[in-house]
Structure formats: structure tokens, C-alpha cells
Structure 1
Amino acid sequence: MNYTLKNIPERTQKPRQYGFTMAMDKGLSIREVEDFLDISGDFIDIVKFGWATSFVTPNLKEKIKVYHDAGIPVYFGGTLFEAFVIRDQFEDYRKVLDKYDLQYAEVSDGSIELDHDKKCDYISKLSEQVTVLSEVGSKDAEKIIPPYQWIKLMQEELDAGAWKVIGEARESGNVGLFRSTGEVRSGLVQEILTKIPFEKIIWEAPQKAQQVWFIKLLGANVNLGNIAPNEVIPLETIRLGLRGDTFSHFLDLNPS
């Protein structure tokens, strides 16, 4: 940091097991990636290439190399996994992961109907090849999954070999964990946390109010995802109590 302030929350250090910031790249150019990493690289733990943007991204290998050279892993969005699976091309998907030297993959079923045992089988197979992030929740705003089902799905996917589970919200933050207004389904989150350790969950929280809510609930080292590139540094200030939204949250104004 550039100077010293007291009463700043202690952040986990990279490579972290929790306190993750997962940023979303929806089509940055190589030059934009270089600029992005120059200013925000210290605060990024992993980058997702949103949905299936990797299919149409020019100079994909070169772009991935820029991230890897900076020590930041990348993975393709779960929608790409679904696009391969729905076309009966799972083995082709595995070859794509190898072709681009990816160490992480996302398994999701937010856009397709996929038997959960089959999804867990995909997780198990992929976990022998890469580190698996599995996403729970639907991209359909009309599909409401009850809390007990979220817990069951998350636990089974962790048991199948997922390193962490992701709570679905899309890049807009208005489905899955959130109501259409962007408001957190707080009862759902609280119930999930009674059974699933917070360190094992990455909460997709693209909106500032959502980030603030999770940080106030779980602290500076909550795992947050789907963060826009220009929001990575603002998020870090929220984590550290250096933005108005959490300014007094971490201050010990009456030390003993």
C-alpha cells in the first residue's frame, strides 16, 4: 500500500484459498488486458472469460498468455461448457482446455436442463484434468430454487470434486441469489451458510450494493465474482473499509 492506516482489515495473501476476487472479462483487447493488469493485477485472483466469449475472441492464445504471464489463471464461462455438452461434444471441450493450457474449468447448468447426477459426473471427470468451479443456480429469473435444494446441489458438487461452488447471479446480478431488482435473497444466503462453509463459495455479486452486503455479512475476505474490470479497485476499497459504504464497519472506535 502507498501509506499506513490503522484499523484496516487483514486481507488474505495471494495465492489465496479465500478472499477471492474473480473478475469477468467480456471481451477486452490484449492492450486493455495489459492496462487492466497493470493497475489491478495485485487484487485479481482469477479471471473468467464471460459465457462463450472465448469462441469469438481474436488472438485468444496470446490474450491468455498475458494473464498467465502475470500469474493470474483464467477459465471459460460455464455457458461454453454447456454449449459443448448440449451438442454431445464433452470430449472436444476437454481438448479445448488442453489446447489453451487452462488449469481451471467451470461446470454449470444455468442454460440447459442437465440431470444432476450427470453434472456431478462431469465435475468428477474434469477434476482429474483441471481445478473445477461448479455453478449452482439458473439463469432463468422465473426459476426459483428453494434453499434446501441449493444446499443439496452445492454439497453434492463439492463431494464430486468441485474446488469451489459459485452462486449464480449472471453478469447483471438479477437472478439466482438475487431478486429481479438486484436485492439479495438474504434468507437464502443465510440458510446456505448454515451448511456450506463460506470459504467454499464464490458469490457472484456484480453490483456495488451486493458486494457491500456480502462484505458486511462475511467480512473483507469473502469470495466475490463477476466483478467488472473497472470495479476491481473500488471493490478492494470496500473490502478495506475505505469507501463510504463500509467506512465505519471495520473501525474499532472504542478500543478496550
Structure 2
Amino acid sequence: MNYFLSNIPERTQKPRSSGFTMVMDKGLSLRQVEDFLEVSGQYTDIVKLGWATSYVTSNLTEKLKLYRDAGIPVYFGGTLFEAFIIRGQFDDYRRTLDKYQMDYAEVSDGSITIDHDEKCNYIKELSKQVTVISEVGSKDVEKIFAPYKWIRLMNAELEAGSWKVIAEARESGNVGIYRDSGEVRQGLVDEILTQIPEEKIIWEAPQKAQQVWFIKLIGANVNLGNIAPAEVIPLETIRLGLRSDTFDFFLNQ
């Protein structure tokens, strides 16, 4: 840091398994990636190329190299996995991961329906090849899961080989663990945390109010995802109690 302040919460150091910031790249240019890495790379743990944007991204190999050279893992969004699966192209998906030298992959079923045992089999198979992050929850606002089902699905996917599970919210933050207004389903989150270790969950939290809520619930080192590139520095100040939303929260801890 540039100067000393007392009563700043201690942040875990990279590479870390808690206090994780997952950033969503929705189509940054190579120059934008370079600028992003200069400003926010030290606070970014992993980057997701949102949904299936990698299919239409120019200079994809060059973009992946920029992230890797900065020491930041990158992976394709889960919707790309689903696009391959629904077309019966799982082996093609695996070859695509190899072609682009991917170390991580996301397994999700937010846009299509996959039998959960089958989904867990995909996780098992892919975990032999890459580190798997799986996503629980639907992108359909009409599909609301009971807490026990979230817990059951998360546990099963972790047992199948997922490194971490993502709690679905979309890039907009208005489905899954949130109401359509963006408000957190507090009872759901509380129930999940009674059974699933907090360090195993990445909470998608694209909105500032959602980030603040989770930081106040779990602490500065909560895992948060779907963070916009321009919001990484603002999020770090929220984590450290250096923004009005959490300004008093850490002073007496």
C-alpha cells in the first residue's frame, strides 16, 4: 500500500482460496486488458470470459496470453460448456480446452437442463484434465430452489471434484441468490453457510450493495465473482473499510 493506516482488515495473499475476486471480461480489447492488468491485476484472482464471448472474441490466443503472463488464470464461461453439451460435443469441448491451454473450466446448467448425476459426471471427467469450478442455480428468474436443494447440489458437485462452487446470479445480479430487485435472499444464504464452507463458495455479486452485504456478513476475505473490470479497485476499498459503505465496519475489530 502507498501509506500506513491502522485498523485495516488483513487480506489474504495471492494465490488464495478465500478473499477471491473473480472478474468478468465481457469483451475487452487487448489494449483494455493491458490497462486493466496495470491498474487491477494485483487484486484480481481469476478472470472469466463471460458466457460464450470467447467464441466471437478476436485475438483470443493473444488475450489469454496477456492474462497468463500477468499470473492470472482465465477460463471460459459456463454457457460455452452448455453450448457444447446441448450439441453433443463434449469431446470437442475438451479438445477446445486443450487447444487454448486452459487450466480451469466452468461446468454449469443455468441455461439448459442437465440431470444432476450427469452434470457431476462431467465434473468428474473434466477434473482429470483441468481445475473445475461449477455453478449452481438457474438463469431463469422463475426457477427458485429451496435452500436444501442448493446445499445438496453444492455438496454433490464438490464431492464430484469441483474446486469451488459458484452461487448463480447472472451478470445482472437479479436471479439465483437474489430477488429480481437485486436484494439478497438472506435466509437462503444463511442456510447454505450452515452446510457449505464459505471458502468453497464464490458468490456472484455484480452490484455494489451485494458486495457490501457479503463483506459485512462474512468479512473482507469473502469470495466474490462477476465483478466488472472497472469495479475491482472500488471493491478492494470496500473490503478494506475505505469506502463509506464499510467505513466504520472494521474500525473496532
Normalised-by-shorter TM-score class: over 0.9
Equivalent residue, structure 1, for 2:209:
209
Q: State the distance in 2 between where 1:31 and 1:16 align.
A: 27
Matches within 5 A, 1:91-130: 91-130=91-130
Equivalent residue, structure 2, for 1:197:
197
SS of the equivalent of 1:3 reads coil
State the number of aligned residues: 253
Q: State the distance in 2 between where 1:75 and 1:14 align.
A: 18
Q: How high is the TM-score relative to the length of structure 2?
A: 0.99
Q: State the distance in 2 between where 1:17 and 1:83 align.
A: 29
Q: Deviation per CA, 1:69-115, whole angstroms, max 9, x where unpaired?
A: 00000000000000000000000000111111110000000000100
Equivalent residue, structure 2, for 1:150:
150
Shift of 1:139: 0.1
Partner amino acid for 1:33? V
Q: How high is the TM-score relative to the length of structure 1?
A: 0.98
Q: State the distance in 2 between where 1:246 and 1:123 align.
A: 37
SS of the equivalent of 2:162 reads coil
Q: State the distance in 1 between where 2:97 and 2:233 align.
A: 30
SS of the equivalent of 1:213 reads helix
Q: State the distance in 1 between where 2:3 and 2:252 align.
A: 20
Partner amino acid for 1:213? W
2:2 is aligned with 1:5: no
Matches within 5 A, 1:14-163: 14-163=14-163
Supply the RMSD in Å over aligned alpha carbons: 0.6
Q: Deviation per CA, 1:46-91, whole angstroms, max 9, x where unpaired?
A: 0000000000000100000000000000000000000000000000
Equivalent residue, structure 1, for 2:227:
227
Partner amino acid for 1:74? V
Shift of 1:18: 1.0
Residue ranges of structure 2 left out of the alignment (5+ in a row):
none
Residue ranges of structure 1 left out of the alignment (5+ in a row):
none
Q: Deviation per CA, 1:181-238, whole angstroms, max 9, x where unpaired?
A: 0000000000000000000000000000000000000000000000000000000000
Shift of 1:2: 0.4
Q: Deviation per CA, 1:4-45, whole angstroms, max 9, x where unpaired?
A: 000000000000011100000000000000000000000000
% identical equivalent positions: 76
Partner amino acid for 1:152? R
Partner amino acid for 2:82? E
Q: State the distance in 2 between where 1:121 and 1:39 align.
A: 39
Q: State the distance in 1 between where 2:252 and 2:216 align.
A: 15
